[in-house]
Copies of this chain bind each other. A is one copy, B any other.
Amino acid sequence: MPDFAAPVERLIDELKHLPGIGQKTAQRLAFFLLRAAPEDALALADAIRDAKEKIRECSTCHNITDADPCLYCVGPTRNKKTICVVEEAHNILAIEKTRTYNGMYHVLGGSLSPLSGRGPDQLHIKSLIERLKGGTVEEIIIATNPTAEGEATAVYLSKLLKPLGVRVTRIGVGIPVGADLEYADEVTMLKAMEGRRDL
């Protein structure tokens, strides 16, 4: 006899596919949905369906969007001379929240990771080079994650883009604001020392 009725087992299985959701959490979520009012549970089902139907990739920057080109690509006040390169679409939000960057974006769709089979061809690099052809773009800010893979991607892109006559910069790495030096790992501390500035 299975642990639960078939539709419940199926729901738990599907929930377990979500990242960070194991058997116990999937069970808890499934029972929550079963207890919830039908309209509330179905609202989630509909939201998933709706998002999958309406959301696609911006053909210019590969951001996720319900209008192509996306809001950032068509924004009349946005500075077309700078492109900020990020790994994933949701990284854009972290940058937008600073309210200081007003340029364009380009979503790579990940970072270089030979072990996971992600080479340059699996990332949106060709379309980035394509965007430089008009001659409008003056600076590429590489905002990949400061991880081993993100750094490797940054170095790769830098070598590829600099010969095309564009300025290539990398976001600063160091101790986060509000953190305590005591708890900084060695590599971050090293990067913070390297990235020191005159006062």
Number of interface residues of A (CB under 8 A): 54
Q: How far is the CA of A66 from the CA of B45 in the complex (A)?
A: 20
Query: In terms of DSSP, what is the predominant structure of the interface of chain A?
Result: helix
Work out how many copies of this chain go into the complex: 2
Q: Which residues on B sit within 8 Å (CB–CB) of A55?
A: 5, 7-8, 34
Q: Does A4 contact B (CB under 8 A)?
A: yes
B19–A29 CB distance below 8 A = yes
Q: Inside 8 A of A51's CB, which chain B residues have their CB?
A: 7-8, 10-11, 30, 33-34
Task: With A33-B51, A54-B7 as known contacts, state yes or no: A15 contacts B44, CB within 8 Å.
Answer: yes
A50-101 contacts to B, CB under 8 A, are 50-55, 64-67, 70-71, 88-90, 93, 96
A88 touches B31 (CB 8 A): yes
The answer, yes or no, to whether A118 is at the interface (CB within 8 Å) is no
